[in-house]
């Protein structure tokens, strides 16, 4: 990044905090939203909290007040419907611009001071200048403290000016067939579209590419796995049957059906490649444990890979405890990135010598130093959190082990068949009867104080609560609650003896793990977090999930968050705070009517239009920067059909017309999936 003009060492370090280390990273760090420059609104119609543009006459010459070391410029603008106080901090030079009687345009957020509406730090335009930008879209990027949206926008603009144009790699016939923009045009106009039409055209092209490369990678896996003979044939064993009979609950019919499918796969003589889809809390984990035990009972090793250290540790402890309670003599070990070198060496040796039967861990499981002895089964939990390449790397640790992947993301079967084309699909579509449904409510911001009292009451009764905010820290462009400020607010609002902490994705791994461990153990009563807890840890004692700016999340993601509570014997509650209008409330009310993730996702799709595509991503990570499998479902299906046609004509993309596409795909796969390249 420091090769870019205007980006020195200090700014480069700030970009690195956002995961941006090169100019190429910057160009592919797409806007998370757009700020529209709308027509001016009459001052009488503006409301506190919103961002507005107003046009009016300056009533008097601006005054400069000195408050301690700060110089404050104050003036008033008036139109036929009312007046508005304007305030700027440490910008005394504006006195010469803000002349009494002049008609100007101002844009900024509306606040209130001493009962009077104010606009602080507004942008200033002449009427002529505002006419030039009206209805244009301003990109809004993910930000970090010390690196605001304006600085990022400037850096992106410079990077676009300095970059070398790339040769178009999509064949002309594909671009014509799907009316796709040229690649360089798309890259420029995803950042700086003059209107929504340009933005949608740029986005369509880049989403097409994401789907294309992803599905080519999936096809690559499918070709390697199809009808592969297995070295690890396993007849249904006695020990898994005994464990099933001794569980303190009975598997649902759906769980039993899926377990029967897995038993059949393991005994088929072919390599199993299966996806288990099941809503949050549907009981996928016990199925995974049964499969791991089956492998261990046949003298093989089984590995379970999960996305977070906290979840890995929790699975490790619960499997070990279950085996101890049931008298099962199988050794379970844990591998995580934060373990010391000495701890890792010890576990590596246990795995190599087959002193370990079941290995639980994070992506540390696929590091080169881990050498397995007859790894027969690989299970990945929350599949969408792992890249295709990570899944492949773990599979290559054994001699084509059986592969079982699990996901709680509610993807309709038609889309799942495309996205997981290399896998057979099983669905757990029943919830255990013992699980109490979460009680939901959608409220506006006036309910906040009542919500705080309710959280206090639950904590006093010995329970815990999550509070979710959409942002880590305050942004100059996006109006939304943030984790850092909200934690400070709660520390003032709730009783002093209540332990409140925050959690977000920019924290170091060790720090995140410590916070989640303390929350899981009950030491922290209220956890203020971003959606990093969406796939995190099982805390049966947590009974309240309060989600701020709920309108900013996709409903499938809200459903996932809601699934963090309701895991124990106590009644649980989900409070969704809607900071927008009636349309958002209608969307959120879908969650009141249904606990079925599949139904929620499809209902949400019906209500959404092209203007909703940013800020409402709801299909988890799935390795896509722009694409959302729900919003872009039609395009996903078209790309899937095109991949079939493309590979039927040229299975290895060896024709001259596909050479640039092949090079680009290998570059993409190398970057996204590590070393997953080679023949298609």
Closest CA to 447 of 588, 551, 578: 578
442: nearest Cα among 553, 322, 282, 356 = 553
The H-assigned helical ranges of 18-69 are 23-27
Could you give the C-alpha distances from 52 to 110, 312, 589, 632, in angstroms and in order?
7, 47, 28, 31
Question: Of 371, 363, 275, 353, which is closest to residue 312 (Cα–Cα)?
Answer: 363
Residue 517: what pLDDT? 84
Alpha-helix residue ranges (DSSP H) falling in 163-283: 172-178, 183-191, 196-225, 238-246, 253-266
Residue 474 has what DSSP assignment? -
Q: In three state form, how does the secondary structure of 103-115 look?
A: EEEEEEEEEEECC
Q: Which CATH number fits domain 38-129: 2.20.28.160, 3.30.70.20, 3.30.590.10, 2.40.50.140?
A: 2.40.50.140
Contacts of 147 (CB under 8 A, 6+ apart): 11, 14, 15, 17, 18
CB 232 within 8 A of CB 298: yes
Backbone angles phi and psi of 214, in degrees to 5: -60, -45
Report how far residue 452's alpha carbon sits from residue 450's, in angstroms, rounded to the nearest whole number.
Answer: 5
Q: Which helix (H) or strand (E) holds 42?
A: none
pLDDT at residue 390 in the model = 59
Tell me if the pTM is above 0.85: no
Six-digit token pair at 44?
A: 């009488």
Pairing of strands 301-305, 358-361: parallel
> Within a 13 Å sphere around the CA of 313, how many CA atoms are in the beta-carbon half?
15
Q: How far apart, in whole angstroms, are the C-alpha atoms of residue 402 and residue 230?
A: 8
Q: Please report which helix (H) or strand (E) contains residue 607, including its range.
A: helix 597-607
Instruction: Report residues of the chain scoring pLDDT below 50.
Output: 384-386, 476-477, 609-621, 673-680
pLDDT at 369: 82
**What is the pairing mode between strands 70-79 and 116-120?**
unpaired
Top-tier CATH class for 439-594: alpha beta
Query: Which residue bears the tokens 């899944």?
Result: 391
- For residue 566, the 8-state DSSP code is -
**pLDDT at residue 6 in the model:** 79
Query: Distance of CA 598 to CAs 427, 466, 591, 604, Å?
Result: 11, 24, 12, 10
Total Cβ atoms within 10 A of residue 636: 24
- pLDDT at position 199 is 93
Cα Dmax for the chain: 90
Task: Specify the pLDDT at position 536.
Answer: 58
Cβ burial of 114 (10 Å; 0-12, 13-18, 19+) is exposed
pLDDT at 611: 41
Cα angle 642, 645, 648; round to 5: 145
Closest CA to 610 of 20, 174, 74, 197: 197
Rounded CA-CA distance 219/221 in Å is 5
Task: Using alpha carbons, list the distances in angstroms from residue 309 to 320, 362, 466, 488, 677.
Answer: 16, 6, 19, 27, 28
SS3 358: strand
> Is there a common fold for 38-129 and 230-428?
no
> Is 309 within 8 Å of 509 (Cβ atoms)?
yes
Residue 479: the pLDDT is 56
The two three-digit tokens of residue 597, written as one number: 């993730």
- Using alpha carbons, list the distances in angstroms from residue 407 to 314, 354, 371, 396, 404: 18, 29, 27, 21, 10
Whether 366 contacts 394, CB under 8 Å: yes
- How many whole angstroms separate alpha carbon 375 and alpha carbon 359? 10
- Domain boundaries along the sequence of the chain: 1-34+135-164, 38-129, 230-428, 439-594
Which residues, in sequence order, are bridge partners of residue 406?
276
Number of Cβ atoms within 10 Å of the Cβ of 196 = 14
Instruction: Check: CB of residue 293 under 8 Å from CB of residue 516.
Output: no
Distance CA 403, CA 439 (A): 37
Q: Which CATH superfamily is domain 230-428 in?
A: P-loop containing nucleotide triphosphate hydrolases (3.40.50.300)
Closest CA to 470 of 549, 389, 587: 549
Rounded to the nearest angstrom, the gap between the alpha carbon of residue 225 and the centroid of all alpha carbons in its chain is 29
**559: Cα within 13 Å, side-chain hemisphere:** 32
Candidates 360, 361, 357; CA nearest to 328 is 357
């Amino acid at each position: 990044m420091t090769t870019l003009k205007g980006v020195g060492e200090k700014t480069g370090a700030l970009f690195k905090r956002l995961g941006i280390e090169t100019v190429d990273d910057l160009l592919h760090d797409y806007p998370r939203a757009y700020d529209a420059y709308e027509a001016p609104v009459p001052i009488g119609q503006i409301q506190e909290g919103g961002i507005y543009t107003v046009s009016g006459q300056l009533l008097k010459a601006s005054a400069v007040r000195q408050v301690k070391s700060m110089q404050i410029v104050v003036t008033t603008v008036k139109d036929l419907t009312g007046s508005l106080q304007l305030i700027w901090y440490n910008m005394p030079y504006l006195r010469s611009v803000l002349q009494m009687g002049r008609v100007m345009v101002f844009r900024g957020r509306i606040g209130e001071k001493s009962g009077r509406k104010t606009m602080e730090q507004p942008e200033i335009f002449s009427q002529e200048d505002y006419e030039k930008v009206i209805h244009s879209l301003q990109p809004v990027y993910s930000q970090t403290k010390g690196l605001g949206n304006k600085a990022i926008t400037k850096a992106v603009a410079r990077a676009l000016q300095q970059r070398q144009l790339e040769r178009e790699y999509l064949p002309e016939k594909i671009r014509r067939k799907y009316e796709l923009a040229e690649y360089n045009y798309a890259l420029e106009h995803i950042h700086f579209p003059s209107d929504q039409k340009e933005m949608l055209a740029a986005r369509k092209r880049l989403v097409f590419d994401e789907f294309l490369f992803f599905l080519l990678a999936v096809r690559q896996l499918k070709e390697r796995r199809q009808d592969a003979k297995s070295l690890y044939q396993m007849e249904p064993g006695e020990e898994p049957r005994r464990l099933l009979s001794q569980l303190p609950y009975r598997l649902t019919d759906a769980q039993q059906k899926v377990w029967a499918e897995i038993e059949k796969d393991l005994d088929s003589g072919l390599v199993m490649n299966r996806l288990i889809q099941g809503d949050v809390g549907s009981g996928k984990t016990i199925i995974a444990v049964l499969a791991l035990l089956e492998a261990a009972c046949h003298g093989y090793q089984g590995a379970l890979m999960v996305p977070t250290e906290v979840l890995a540790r929790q699975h490790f402890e619960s499997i070990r405890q279950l085996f101890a309670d049931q008298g099962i003599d199988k050794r379970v070990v844990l591998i995580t990135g934060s373990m010391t070198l000495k701890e890792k060496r010890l576990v590596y040796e246990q795995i190599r010598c087959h002193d370990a039967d079941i290995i639980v861990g994070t992506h540390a499981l696929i590091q080169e130093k881990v050498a397995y002895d007859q790894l027969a089964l690989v299970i990945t939990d929350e599949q969408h959190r792992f890249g295709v390449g990570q899944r492949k790397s773990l599979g290559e640790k054994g001699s084509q082990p059986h592969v079982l992947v699990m996901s709680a993301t509610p993807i309709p079967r038609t889309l799942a068949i495309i996205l997981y084309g290399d896998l057979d699909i099983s669905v757990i579509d029943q919830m255990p009867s013992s699980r109490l449904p979460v009680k939901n409510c959608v409220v506006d911001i006036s309910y906040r104080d009542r919500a705080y009292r309710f959280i206090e009451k639950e904590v006093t009764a010995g329970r815990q609560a999550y509070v979710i905010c959409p942002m880590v820290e305050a942004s100059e462009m996006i109006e939304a609650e943030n984790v850092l400020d909200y934690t400070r607010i709660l520390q003032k609002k709730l009783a002093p003896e209540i332990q409140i902490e925050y959690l977000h994705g920019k924290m170091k791994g060790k720090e995140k793990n410590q916070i989640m461990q303390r929350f899981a153990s009950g030491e922290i009563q209220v956890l203020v977090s971003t959606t990093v807890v969406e796939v995190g840890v099982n805390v049966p004692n947590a009974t309240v999930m309060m989600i701020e700016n709920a309108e900013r999340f996709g409903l499938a993601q809200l459903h996932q968050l809601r699934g963090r509570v309701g895991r124990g014997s106590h009644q649980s509650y989900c409070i969704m705070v809607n900071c927008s209008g009636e349309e958002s409330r209608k969307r959120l009310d879908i969650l009141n009517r249904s606990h079925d993730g599949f139904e929620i996702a499809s209902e949400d799709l019906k209500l959404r239009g092209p203007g909703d595509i940013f800020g409402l991503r709801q299909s988890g990570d799935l390795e896509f920067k722009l694409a959302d499998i729900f919003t872009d479902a039609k395009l996903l299906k078209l790309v899937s059909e095109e991949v079939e046609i493309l590979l039927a004509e040229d299975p290895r993309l060896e024709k001259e017309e596909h050479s640039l596409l092949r090079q680009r795909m290998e570059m993409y796969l190398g970057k996204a999936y590590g070393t997953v390249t080679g023949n298609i």
